[in-house]
Amino acid sequence: MFNEIMPKLTANDGSFLAAEIGGIVAQLNRKNDGVRQQASGVLSVLAQFRPDSSSTLAPAFSALMVHVRDTAPRIRTNSLNALCALRPEIPEEQMQFLIKLASDSDESLASRALFGVARMASFRIAASEAMNKSLLQTDPYDRRMAAVRAIAAARVTSPALVRSLGSLLDDKDATLVHTILEAMEELGGSAIAANIDQLNHVINASSDSESVALARRLVTTQIGGR
């Protein structure tokens, strides 16, 4: 599979994958954990590396959504990662599935789903609103942290979400504030420029020396880049 078939599945045109996808899905639905894990791994790799995976993997979407709650942890992860990585964009039905999953009580599933939602947040209102909701989520605590990290990892450019990050810089939780500052640094100039006032507030009001230093660096970088 990985030495002979996988290179062909990732490099060849869609017709080759179309002939194989039914068999891969059949393996994903087998009872054997090892077989299912291999199939889920193949689909996860294809989702990430095929530029047309949002169309060529369509026959596998239903199975992937089912196996997001598989009994085997690695299969759950592979299935969810595949849905989050679809290219060039995540189809609407799968996007809505991920948005719903981002509010799931299972923190691991919700955190991973947030990355897929964040990928679409610059282009789709529903995804942007879902990310904003997660940023404001105070219980469970990790949900906000996961949302901030997903926004940075997905290079979100939505002005509304970038401003929402800034609005949380006055939070009393130093860890959250520092994570937001790191996210702004990763997002770059536009995120920094949109939140200069909030960054200056951190510099002048925060008691956390690390956050103050990072905020000052961001402001200095922005001023120097003008």
Model confidence pLDDT, tens digit, residues 186-213: 998 889 999 999 999 999 999 999 999 9
Q: Which residues contact 203 (CB under 8 A, 6 or more apart)?
A: 212, 215, 216, 219
Residue 216 counted as domain residue: yes
How many folded domains does the chain comprise? 1
Residue 31 counted as domain residue: no
Residue 142 counted as domain residue: no
Residue 171 CA to residue 169 CA, distance in Å, equals 5
Residue 146 CA to residue 156 CA, distance in Å, equals 14
Residue 74 CA to residue 1 CA, distance in Å, equals 18
* 3-state SS assignment for residue 12: coil
Model confidence pLDDT, tens digit, residues 113-158: 999 999 999 999 999 999 999 998 777 778 899 999 999 999 998 9
Residue 156 in contact with residue 188, Cβ under 8 Å? no
Domain that holds residue 220: 157-226
pLDDT of residue 9: 74
Residue 9 counted as domain residue: no
Percent of the chain, pLDDT > 70? 95
Q: Of 193, 197, 198, give the one whose Cα is nearest residue 222.
A: 193
Residue 98 counted as domain residue: no
Residue 180 counted as domain residue: yes
174, amino acid identity: A
Residue 198 counted as domain residue: yes
